[in-house]
């Protein structure tokens, strides 16, 4: 009789623990679901605010003028709203930054993944991630006070050219240094996820470590590397303080990185400081500019998703 009761108690205890574990799992699932739902609602709220405020702006400014006008003077009496002026500065600075970040970031990722000893990799990765944690305003003053004077000296000595104190080149170079950790870290993780059997097969065919890294590992990890590039592009397009400090914030339609210019994010910062009254057409330009930036970022992310789906390999 006692053995039957003991067995019943054991079964009851197991059922109780199973029910308790089931309740805990349901609670955790609900928390995760609410977290994901919260991010969706925040995104929808941001898009709604940008769209609603931009519609008010486009009631006074035609979309054609917004896209084709070559002047951006919402703070003047003779107002013009040509987003191309800000877009040119954004694209030029981003191109300079990516010209620095993508080659260096990819090279660092290949070295850390395929060549660096374990001890060196464990030391180098935290230092790279530390670069990504430096406040961007510090990078901005570094570009203004150190990189720009160095570029001015080189331009004058080598090309007899007086480089302006504010320019897109110095801001873009420093922004590229800031983006390197994003590109290298994600790319290195993608390369390390490639199975070792592919490397061993390459070595068995007589390939060197460099040939294996470039011709086997890198193509196999292309989907992850492409995601790293898209992350770097989005980071460059959305950067604010480096460009606000070092690029000059002068609306200038130019494709020359040696000249000063304003970017979309720098203009948003300028207007948000309170130069224009809330609710005016000039103030609503920040929502139209923000919507433009959102569309650009969305396009790059869609491109990254397409590349990831096209080249992704399952092992």
Q: What is the pLDDT of residue 79?
A: 76
Digit-coded pLDDT (tens) for 255-309: 989 999 888 888 888 877 766 667 677 778 888 888 998 888 888 888 877 777 7
Q: What are phi and psi of 81, to 5 degrees?
A: -130, 60
pTM: 0.83
Digit-coded pLDDT (tens) for 185-198: 889 888 988 888 88
Q: Which of 43, 59, 75 is the last residue of a domain?
A: 59
Whether the Cβ atoms of residue 220 and residue 207 lie closer than 8 Å to each other: no
Cα–Cα distances (Å) from 157 to 150, 153, 162, 165, 257, in that order, read 11, 6, 10, 16, 19
Residues 150 and 70 in one domain: yes
Q: What is the pLDDT of residue 122?
A: 82
Max CA distance (Å), the chain: 103
CA atoms of 32 and 163, how far apart (whole Å): 53
Percent of the chain with pLDDT over 70: 90
Digit-coded pLDDT (tens) for 93-147: 999 999 999 999 999 999 988 888 888 888 888 888 788 788 888 999 999 899 9
Q: Which of 13, 43, 59 is the last residue of a domain?
A: 59
Per-residue pLDDT band at 170 (split at 50, 70, 90): very high
CA atoms of 285 and 55, how far apart (whole Å): 11
Residues in a beta bridge with 81: 72
Residues 203 and 87 in one domain: yes
Residues 40 and 86 in one domain: no
90 pLDDT above the threshold of 80:
yes
Domain membership of residue 31 as a residue range: 1-59
Digit-coded pLDDT (tens) for 61-78: 888 888 888 888 776 767
């Amino acid at each position: 009789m006692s053995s039957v009761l003991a067995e019943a108690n054991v079964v009851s205890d197991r059922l109780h623990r199973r029910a308790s574990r089931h309740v805990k799992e349901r609670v955790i699932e609900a928390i995760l679901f609410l977290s994901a739902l919260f991010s969706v609602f925040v995104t929808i709220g941001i898009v709604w605010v940008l769209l609603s405020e931009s519609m008010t702006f486009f009631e006074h400014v035609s979309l054609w003028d917004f896209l084709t006008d070559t002047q951006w003077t919402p703070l003047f009496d003779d107002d013009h709203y040509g987003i191309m002026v800000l877009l040119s500065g954004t694209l030029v600075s981003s191109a300079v930054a990516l010209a620095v970040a993508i080659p260096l970031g990819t090279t660092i990722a290949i070295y850390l993944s395929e060549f660096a000893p374990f001890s060196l990799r464990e030391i180098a990765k935290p230092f790279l991630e530390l670069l990504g944690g430096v406040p961007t305003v510090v990078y901005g003053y570094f570009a203004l006070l150190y990189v720009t004077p160095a570029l001015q000296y080189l331009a004058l000595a080598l090309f007899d050219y007086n480089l302006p104190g504010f320019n897109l080149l110095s801001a873009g170079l420093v922004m590229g240094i800031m983006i390197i950790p994003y590109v290298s870290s994600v790319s290195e993780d993608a390369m390390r996820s490639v199975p070792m059997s592919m490397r061993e097969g390459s070595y068995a065919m007589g390939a060197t470590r460099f040939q294996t890294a470039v011709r086997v590992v890198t193509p196999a990890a292309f989907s992850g590397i492409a995601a790293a590039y898209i992350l770097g592009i989005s980071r460059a397009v959305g950067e604010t303080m480096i460009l606000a400090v070092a690029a000059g914030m002068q609306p200038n339609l130019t494709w020359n990185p040696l000249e000063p210019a304003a970017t979309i994010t720098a203009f948003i910062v300028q207007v948000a400081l309170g130069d224009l009254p809330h609710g005016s057409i000039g103030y609503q330009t920040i929502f139209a500019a923000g919507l433009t930036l959102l569309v650009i970022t969305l396009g790059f992310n869609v491109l990254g998703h397409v590349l990831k789906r096209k080249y992704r390999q399952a092992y």
